């Protein structure tokens, strides 16, 4: 379940721009944590809010992993 809050030290624009720094059709909160100055938990909460706003999409291929992508990355998610 997603919460409607998160750490605001990083703007939504900065969070979404960080997707471009990670190779692949999707990103994980752990990968984003490596390049952003906020925790994985805060990133996950922010991504959940962005998902509710239609800015990102997610898929949970395993019990412990969630992959996230932006709408402009949608062509990759359909492969």
Domains along the sequence of the chain with CATH: 12-77 (1.10.10.10)
In sequence order, the 6+-apart residues with CB closer than 8 A to the CB of 61 are 67
For the question of whether the overall pTM of this predicted structure is more than 0.85, the answer is no
pLDDT in tens, 22-72: 999 999 999 999 999 999 999 999 999 999 999 999 999 899 999 999 988
Residue 6, pLDDT score:
47
Residue 5, pLDDT score:
40
Q: How far, CA to CA in Å, does 49 sit from each of 2, 28, 30, 75?
A: 7, 15, 17, 22
pLDDT interval class at 79 (50, 70, 90): very low
Residue 71, pLDDT score:
83
């Amino acid at each position: 379940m997603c919460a409607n809050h998160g750490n605001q030290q990083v703007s939504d624009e900065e969070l979404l721009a960080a997707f471009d720094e990670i190779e692949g059709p999707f990103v994980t909160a752990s990968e984003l944590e490596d390049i952003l100055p906020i925790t994985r938990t805060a990133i996950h909460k922010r991504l959940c809010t962005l998902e509710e706003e239609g800015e990102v999409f997610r898929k949970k291929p395993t019990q412990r992993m969630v992959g996230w992508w932006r709408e402009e990355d949608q062509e990759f998610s359909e492969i």
